[in-house]
């Protein structure tokens, strides 16, 4: 009986073509991919580099039908494999002619790994093009999402069009059943379609209803696909016999609360609010103004502290001068007393002299 090795074990023993995988990725892949390990899967990897990961997939998925890698780097043409299941296609996976080359290798893929340019627009466009090519119960994995927070990869923490921002939108789409505002998925994602260079008039995004779950791990996103009917909340299951607090009749009320909601009057659910073209600009301006105000307040606090320090020094100097003046005043008073005392002695001496003169 052959015992399957984990991906972590395969990477620890790996030789041949170089592959770079973060330790956390390998640990999570061992958990997520184990159920597919013995299956006859079709695999697509966007971003090949030295080709080591394609080699690792062929060793891990021994029953895989096809393992397709695509890379824009012409140097990848020189990669040679002894395993004829591995095919490398050169070109931009987001271009129609390259997509056609890829789907000629396999019309549907069970596992898609995006380890390509890491540019936000590329990640978003690739997902919108290849998620429809993913089999039901398949997994779409996006690696190195830390780049989504960096400007040189079209990202930033508050960037409304980063790949992370796109994934956050997918979370809303998972809950599309509860929007209750008449908005279509296409309307909701229109800005991302335009940003990615895709035509919102010709591209129907209803396939995003097949996004069943999104798991976010540090720098890694794992998206599971299921049939639309498996993504609906459906009926409320009620079991048990003791309903002394909330009656079983509450089941109907709860179900109606979901089905009969109408959010057309909710300002935060309206298309006008969502599609305000100036919103992001205004938000950025407000953010800059807040940061500027914060800097001004910090400076003012420092100025106040400096003034308090100066005020303390002035009070200290004033106290010292006042003390010295008081001391001088006491000395002058003492001198005046001495002078007055001396004046009296002189007068007495003068009177005595006058008396003596009168006697003579």
Examine the pLDDT at 316 and tell me if it is beyond 90.
Answer: no
pLDDT at 277: 47
For residue 214, give the DSSP letter: E
pLDDT at 260: 65
Examine the pLDDT at 73 and tell me if it is beyond 80.
Answer: yes
For residue 79, give the DSSP letter: -
**pLDDT tens track for 195-236:** 888 888 888 999 999 999 999 999 999 999 999 999 998 877
Rounded to an integer, the average pLDDT of 340-354 is: 65
**pLDDT tens track for 30-42:** 999 999 999 999 9
Examine the pLDDT at 309 and tell me if it is beyond 90.
Answer: no
Q: At what angle do helices 120-130 and 163-174 cross, to 10 degrees?
A: 40
Q: What value does the mean pLDDT of the chain take?
A: 86
pTM of the model: 0.73
> Regarding beta strands 109-114 and 66-71, do their DSSP bridges make them parallel or antiparallel, or are they unpaired?
unpaired
Least confidently predicted of 69-73, 150-154, 193-197, 327-331: 327-331
| Structural domain spans, the chain | 7-232, 277-360
Least confidently predicted of 44-48, 85-89, 151-155, 315-319: 315-319
Examine the pLDDT at 1 and tell me if it is beyond 70.
Answer: no
Q: What is the CATH number of domain 7-232?
A: 3.40.50.150
Rounded to an integer, the average pLDDT of 182-196 is: 88
- Rounding to the nearest 10 degrees, give the CA dihedral for residues 184, 185, 186, 190: 120
Question: How many Cα atoms within 13 Å fall on the side-chain side of residue 251?
Answer: 10
């Amino acid at each position: 009986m052959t015992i399957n090795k984990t991906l972590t074990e395969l990477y620890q023993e790996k030789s041949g073509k170089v592959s770079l995988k973060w330790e956390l990725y390998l640990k999570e892949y061992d958990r997520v991919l184990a159920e597919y390990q013995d299956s006859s899967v079709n695999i697509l990897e966007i971003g090949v580099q030295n080709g080591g990961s394609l080699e690792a997939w062929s060793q891990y998925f021994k029953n895989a039908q096809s393992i397709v890698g695509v890379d824009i780097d012409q140097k990848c043409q020189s990669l040679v494999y002894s395993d004829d299941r591995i095919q490398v296609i050169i070109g931009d996976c987001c271009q129609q002619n390259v997509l056609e080359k890829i789907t000629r290798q396999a019309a549907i893929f069970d596992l898609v790994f995006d380890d390509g340019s890491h540019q936000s627009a590329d990640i978003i466009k690739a997902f919108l093009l290849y998620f429809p090519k993913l089999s039901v119960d398949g997994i779409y994995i996006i690696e190195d999402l830390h780049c989504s927070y960096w400007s040189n990869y079209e990202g930033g923490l508050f960037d409304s069009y980063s790949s992370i921002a796109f994934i956050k939108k997918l979370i809303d789409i998972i809950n599309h059943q509860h929007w209750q505002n008449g908005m279509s998925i296409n309307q909701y994602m229109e800005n991302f379609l335009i940003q990615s260079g895709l035509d919102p008039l010709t591209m129907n995004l209803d396939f995003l209803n097949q996004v069943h779950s999104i798991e976010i791990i540090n720098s890694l996103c794992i998206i599971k696909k299921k049939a639309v009917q498996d993504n609906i909340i459906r009926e409320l299951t009620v079991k048990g016999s003791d309903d002394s607090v909330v009656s079983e009749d509450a089941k109907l009320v709860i179900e109606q609360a979901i089905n009969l909601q109408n959010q057309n009057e909710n300002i935060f659910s309206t298309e006008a609010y969502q599609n305000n073209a100036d919103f992001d600009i205004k938000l950025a301006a407000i953010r800059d103004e807040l940061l500027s105000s914060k800097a001004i307040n910090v400076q003012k606090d420092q100025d106040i502290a400096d003034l308090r320090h100066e005020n303390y020094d002035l009070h200290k100097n004033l106290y010292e001068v006042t003390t010295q003046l008081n001391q001088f005043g006491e000395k002058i008073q003492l001198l005046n007393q001495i002078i007055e005392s001396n004046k009296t002695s002189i007068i007495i001496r003068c009177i005595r002299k006058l008396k003596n003169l009168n006697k003579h």
